[in-house]
Structure 1
Amino acid sequence: MVEATRVEGPGKGRSVGELIATVSEQFSRLIRDELQLAQLQLAEKGKRLGVGAGLLGGAAVVALYAVGVLLAAAVLGLATVLPAWLSALIIGVFLLIVAAVVGFVGKKAIDASKRFAPKPQEGLKDDLDAVKKGIQK
């Protein structure tokens, strides 16, 4: 009858087969955890892109109102010589400035989301290196 090889040390009393089964189970759990981390990182990137897109959409809405005000200012300016058109023109320019600021902030948010690059492969590589070091001991 063949006796199972026993390992001395921290895994004392466990056969090589049991140790391999344990390593296999821990490795598959590690892979699942790394995939879950990658999912969370991609969700975070999507959230950041959504914020930037929302800000750009807000800038478009403000710009649309600015165009309406500028059109009203042009109509008032042509229809009358009263200074009411000047105030409408000032409001329109102000709204365009607001749209530019909101658009700039939205672009910065999108650029920041591009710099956020989830790298799940690095965590997996570190885990593989740790497993290799553990096997070599």
Structure 2
Amino acid sequence: MGEQPTREHAQHSVGELVEQATAQLSELVRQEMRLAAQEMAAKGKRAGRGGGLIGAAGAVSYVGLMALSATAAAALSLALPVWAAILIVTGVLFVVAGVLGAMGRGQLARAVPPVPQEAMDSVKADVEEIKERAHR
């Protein structure tokens, strides 16, 4: 007949299982950290390229806005003194800048901090799987 496991043998097996689970959990955490680092690096590269392009677009737009402002002041100077035309155009530009600044501040306030979302979702799924297996 088969041998009954002794209490010492059962504890040894539980100890081995705990050791294996700890090693597997450590490896899982290292893998998730590598995934998070890779994801953040990729997002950082895309953000850098996008930021550079937006900066270039802003510089070109700034030059265009200066030309448009000069054109508007020249057009207004046909009906008003030059100083009044330039003052009106300057006032309009400051109002537009104030509105854009307020809109930008609102967008920044609602912005979510950059996080490695895929890695976080994966870790959550791993934790749920571990919980399910622990309750079986």
TM superposition score normalised by structure 1: 0.50
Q: 5+ residue gaps in structure 2? A: 1-5, 72-111
Indicate whether 1:125 and 2:124 are aligned.
Answer: yes
Q: 5+ residue gaps in structure 1? A: 7-13, 75-113
In structure 1, how many angstroms separate the alpha carbons of the residues matched to 2:31 and 2:52? 32
CA deviation string 1:108-128 (max 9, x = no partner): xxxxxx798532332212111
1:55 maps to 53
CA deviation string 1:30-75 (max 9, x = no partner): 111111111111112211211111112322454477589x5xxx8x
In structure 2, how many angstroms separate the alpha carbons of the residues matched to 1:130 and 1:65? 57
Higher RCO, 1 or 2 (CA under 8 Å, sep at least 6)?
Answer: 2
Greater than 6 Å deviation, 4+ residue runs: none
CA deviation string 1:75-114 (max 9, x = no partner): xxxxxxxxxxxxxxxxxxxxxxxxxxxxxxxxxxxxxxx7
The CA RMSD over aligned residues, in Å, is: 3.5
In structure 2, how many angstroms separate the alpha carbons of the residues matched to 1:129 and 1:27? 13
2:17 maps to 19
